[in-house]
Copies of this chain bind each other. A is one copy, B any other.
Amino acid sequence: MGRQRPGTPTLEEVAAHAGVGRGTVSRVINNAAGVKDSTRRIVQQAIEELGYVPNLAARSLASRRTDAVALVLTEPDWRVFSEPFFSEIVRSLGDALADTGMQLMLTLVRSDSERKRFVEYARGGRVDGVLLMSVHAGDRLPDMLAEARLPTVMLGRRSGDEYVSYVDADNVGGARSAVTHLLSRGRRAIATITGPLDMYAAQCRLRGYRDALTLAGLSGVESMVAEGDFSEGSGRRAMAELLERHPEIDGVLAASDTTAAGALQALRTAGRRVPKDVSVIGFDDFALAQRTEPRLTTVRQPLEEMGGSMIRLLLEDMEEPSVAYRHVILRTELVARDST
């Protein structure tokens, strides 16, 4: 395979054309200080005339940086793509990077072999840092990157003692405040539909639910907890089961807004008035509430801030690659949209 770009002008030719040294041209294209304004203009004109574009390979070989970061999505998360959650994160990442002049590139990793290939690619120096979205509990990718000492920041974490740098939402606190809210409105029979419990975020939300009940002096009832998987269907099923076991239910914390939507359907099918008889709160993972359940009370995650925080952490790791990893947990916010 012989691919190449032919006769591209080099920095040297620009220098010759402008009648200056290569160092000066380099300074100009890097906006470095210490170049007389008149010289700068001459060089810029030469660049223009020759249609010069810096060779990025040469640049990163010499400078040991690439000004590019990768955002890695592992296969099961492709579905997230269309969700406002994903768009919002990518948008904020893009905005944060725009200021730094870095390129964001998405990488889809399906198999373990692709995982390995990506690590080689990153270790090969093609990116300055790596961002990981919603990594699953057993995924070794973060460890591989950490071993290679590549600046890495995850959105979310795999467990309670995650070491790799991450930005997460305060899931425990969010769940706790949601349940507390329900309690303050007089609800007493509060159930929860969890996410898949092999995911740390789901565990945290369940913990927050339990914490709030304990704090209120109520002992949580195990049969008031039903496991779902963040999907709408699982919300429907779980809610139906819960109602069968506990017809007295008057409050529900759903692990996601999608699950909440399913729960609402099941409640209405069962003849419950929402929110009059039963009040439902969900985490707004997919911003579903804004679309189809606008009146749903939700635990809002600060999506706009998450991307920015990730970039900040990554930059810090790149500046001074310390031994310590950095962790940020962003506050969630309860947005009460129904009157109950």
Residues of A within 8 A of B (CB): 1-6, 53-61, 64-66, 68, 70, 78-83, 86-87, 90, 94, 100, 103-108, 110, 114, 117-118, 120-121, 123-126, 128-129, 149-151, 315, 318-319, 321
Contact = CB atoms under 8 A, between A and B. Distances in A.
A92 to B, nearest CB: 12
A117 B222 CA distance: 55
B108 A107 contact: no
A334 B150 CA distance: 50
A4 B54 CA distance: 20
Contact of A3 (B2, B54, B79, B319): B319
Nearest to A90: B108
B1 A55 contact: no
A125 B56 contact: yes
B87 A78 contact: yes
Contacts of A126: 56-57, 68
Contact of A149 (B5, B56, B149): B5
30 contacts: A1-B315, A1-B318, A2-B65, A3-B129, A3-B319, A3-B321, A4-B64, A4-B65, A5-B64, A5-B123, A5-B125, A54-B124, A56-B121, A56-B124, A57-B57, A57-B126, A58-B61, A61-B61, A78-B82, A78-B87, A80-B82, A81-B81, A81-B86, A82-B82, A82-B83, A90-B108, A94-B108, A103-B107, A104-B108, A106-B107
Given A3-B318, A108-B104, A125 B57 contact: yes
Contacts of A108: 90, 94, 104, 106
B61 A66 contact: no
A3 B128 contact: yes
Contact of A60 (B57, B64, B82, B315): B57
Nearest to A3: B318
Contacts of A3: 64-65, 128-129, 151, 318-319, 321
Contacts of A68: 121, 126
Contacts of A86: 81
Nearest to A56: B124
Contacts of A53: 120, 123-124
A86 to B, nearest CB: 8
